[in-house]
Amino acid sequence: MAPLPSFVLRSLPIITAATPGAFRIFVITFSMFFIAGEEVVAFSTQYTLAAFFVMICGIGFSTILVKGMAQEDSINTFLSYSLSSVVVGGAVSLVALLMVSWFLIIPDFLSLFFLIISTSVYQVFRNYLIFKKDFYRLLVNDILIGLLFVFCLLGVYVVQGKVDGSAVFVFLSFSYLASLCIVFAWRFYQAREAPSEDSVALISKDKAVSSLVVGMSNAASGGVSFILPSFFAALGGGEIAIVASIAALVFSSISAVPRGVINNGTAALSKMILAKHFDSQFVLSLRYKVKLIIATLFPSLTLFIFIYLYVFVEIDDFLASIVFVAALGFYIATAQLGVVESVMVNLCGYERQAFYFNLAVFLGVIVVFMLPNLLPAMKNAFFIIYLLPILLGVINIFRMFWYRQLVGRYFATA
């Protein structure tokens, strides 16, 4: 394979960190042109639900895979974690999905479950390539997924004249698995990595539990982002809901940049943690890059949102919208500020503490969300709309320093 230009190589970790989120937006937008109007709400709800469950049986196992790869860098390690993601994570997701089906109608249960499984294996494969720093194949893999999905959807639509939500989920699942097989075979053929002597089997109970805990911790943390837009709309009305959706879309679009910086150093971080040798220069370099990104992008994006709202959106109280955007930007920026610590705390084995913390924050937001319904006087307490993002931002900063202490404790026991 011919070497790529240096600027392209430097950009690949950031580009590949952004592709999953961008692809989810593309899937929803593109599918809307083919799905019948009465199915749109059910489709988008189920697709969002799938993304939530992938955090449990996909993100968790892919995170702990990095620790396993640091111990034994082999294809069998990846295959074992993929198998565990399907069997263990799939079983947990199946039970959880059955419980959810008691309260929420899931018309495409089997195809949705198949999508959760295939996307989870894709997440494990992503981290395998990230650990190998094979960002070129990772980008090819993501592009191939999109092309296969579009070809399948258009092909069936041309032949049958219609596509339902269940078919979209099946096409997505096929695209994830087919692309994985193609790129995995490509890497195996070119790299000629020999499998280890150990057989492919389920990972140990401790590693499986750690994977599930990390997944549930991510789900609790991500659950806050799921709830906030509904809370802002319920308490602030349509105007705040519009401002919140625009601001969240713009701010979240650059969250992949800090994550890309971390992805580029994932292998070095995991090996450093395995050896219990704290490389302060390397960690400080990562933190500096993340801070520089946040200090550069968030103020400029905040100004962009102000201008966009002023020019293109009719808002009665522009000053209140400015305050809200600044508060929401503070919350999202502080969440990205601790991305180095969030990765390291799981690799250091403190995933339970992270889960308890994220769960407590999630439950706290749920309580605040329910207050206007429980206490009628709270329905007019509009200040909560501005106070809650600021409070969550302060909590993010506290969590970053607490995680930093836990990481320090881990290396102090070396």
pLDDT by residue for the chain (414 residues), tens digit each?
556 666 677 789 988 988 888 898 889 889 888 887 778 888 888 888 898 889 888 999 999 999 999 998 889 999 999 999 999 999 999 998 999 888 888 889 999 999 999 999 999 999 999 999 999 999 999 999 999 999 999 999 999 988 988 999 999 999 999 999 999 999 988 876 666 666 788 999 999 999 999 999 988 888 777 777 767 776 766 677 778 778 877 777 677 788 888 999 999 999 999 999 999 999 999 999 999 999 998 899 899 989 988 888 777 778 888 888 898 889 989 999 999 999 999 999 999 999 999 999 999 988 887 877 777 766 666 778 888 999 999 999 999 999 999 999 999 986
* pLDDT computed for residue 195 by the predictor: 62
Q: How far is CA 57 from the centre of its chain?
A: 12
Q: Which residue, of 203, 232, 256, is where some domain finishes?
A: 203
Is residue 43 included in any domain, yes or no? yes
* pLDDT computed for residue 281 by the predictor: 95
Same domain? For 272 and 334 the reply is yes
Same domain? For 199 and 214 the reply is no
Same domain? For 193 and 315 the reply is no
| Domain of 48, in residue numbers | 6-203
Same domain? For 123 and 165 the reply is yes
* pLDDT computed for residue 401 by the predictor: 97
Quote the DSSP letter at residue 46. Answer: H
Q: Which residue, of 146, 171, 203, is where some domain finishes?
A: 203
What is the dihedral sign for C-alpha 393, 394, 400, 406? Answer: negative
Same domain? For 112 and 236 the reply is no
Same domain? For 127 and 22 the reply is yes
Same domain? For 192 and 326 the reply is no
Same domain? For 166 and 217 the reply is no
Is residue 1 included in any domain, yes or no? no
* pLDDT computed for residue 380 by the predictor: 65
Same domain? For 340 and 399 the reply is yes
| Cβ-based neighbour number of residue 9 at 10 Å | 14
* pLDDT computed for residue 213 by the predictor: 95
Cβ burial 99-116 (10 Å sphere, 16+ → b, else e) = eeeeeeebebbebbbbbb
Structural domain total, the chain: 2
Q: Which residue, of 203, 221, 249, is where some domain finishes?
A: 203
| C-alpha pair distances (Å), 68 with each of 177, 195, 288, 330, 372 | 22, 15, 27, 35, 46
* pLDDT computed for residue 228 by the predictor: 76
Q: Indicate the pTM of the whole model.
A: 0.89
Is residue 226 included in any domain, yes or no? yes
Kindly tell me the burial class for residue 408, based on how many C-beta atoms sit within 10 Å of its own C-beta (0-12, 13-18, 19 or more): exposed
Q: Report the half-sphere exposure of 88 (CA within 13 A, side-chain side).
A: 24
- The span from the CA of 273 to the CA of 104, in Å, is 42
Same domain? For 94 and 117 the reply is yes
Same domain? For 108 and 240 the reply is no
Amino acid of residue 154 = L
Same domain? For 161 and 265 the reply is no
